[in-house]
Amino acid sequence: MSPEAMAFTDYQAAFAARIRDPKHAPRPPGAPAKRMRVYEELLFNNLENFLLACYPITRKLLGARVWKQTARRFFSEHRCHSPLFRDIPKAFLDWMEAGGAALFPALPFLAEFMHYEWLELSVSVTPEEPDPAAIEPNGDLLTGRPALNPTAHLACYRYPVHRIGPRFKPGAPDAEAYCYLLFRDASDEVRFILLNPLSAQLLNLLREHQPSGHEALAHLAAQTDPNQYDRLVQAGGGLLRELRDQGALLGTWRAS
């Protein structure tokens, strides 16, 4: 059948199917094999480069051959809905979380680790920027309302994802969660801070409700041990100051 004999949309579908799965989908009628291979390699290589930019350690964990097979399977099976290239790594993560990671039972931490790698990229490109007019940089972090860096993201995992690599592959999750705060500092560098679960709860309160430091710590004390309020305020105040020094907190919100 000649290309002219096919409806244009049918030809497009056949062309795309061949690019996605050159081993199983036939070449569209009239498409030269050599020229078709150029498109097949070009599009897959572009997609793989976007994935490698986000998941360099995942590639090392899987090995070059298995990584390429997995990327090829994703390219063949998944249908991306965003036209933005920067959304390709998130689509790959969604595909892995939906079942792709189950292909690797020897790496039970893989989905969580990939989320951690993706989160670093997400924080690096987020368009969120602080509004200097709304923040008092030297405000009192206990009586005032601490202002969390708008690029900050909290994430908790069952595995110590900051340690995972080719030389450390945990076989089972730990009893206590590992919580991380990732943010972009004033130099546009992505930084992460390992938090205990209570500190993560404190930051989540600040992000969701914007209370004063005292109010947030009182809430945590009521949930844990009200008799430890003074001790919690002392420790929590120190944590808030450390977070401001590191750029995770920008100061306090000015009264509107």
Q: Is the pLDDT of residue 6 over 80?
A: no
Q: What is the pLDDT of residues 145-202, one digit of tens each?
A: 999 999 999 999 999 999 999 999 999 999 999 999 999 998 999 999 999 999 999 9
- Does residue 41 contact residue 58 with C-beta atoms inside 8 Å? no
Q: Give 75-78's long-range contacts (Cβ < 8 A, gap of 24+).
A: 75/20, 75/44, 75/47, 76/20, 76/21
Q: What is the mean pLDDT of residues 97-115?
A: 92
Q: Which amino acid is at 25?
A: A
Q: Is the pLDDT of residue 3 over 70?
A: no
Which has more confidence, 30 or 237? 237
Tell me the residue length of the chain: 256
pLDDT, averaged across the chain: 90
Q: Give me the helix-helix angle, 88-97 and 64-77, nearest 10°.
A: 90
Query: Which residue, among 177, 126, 145, has the nearest Cα to 254 in the 3D structure?
Result: 145
Q: What is the pLDDT of residues 136-160, one digit of tens each?
A: 999 999 999 999 999 999 999 999 9
pLDDT at 138: 95
Q: What is the pLDDT of residues 61-73, one digit of tens each?
A: 999 999 999 999 9
Q: What is the Cα–Cα distance from 42 to 37, expressed in whole angstroms?
A: 8
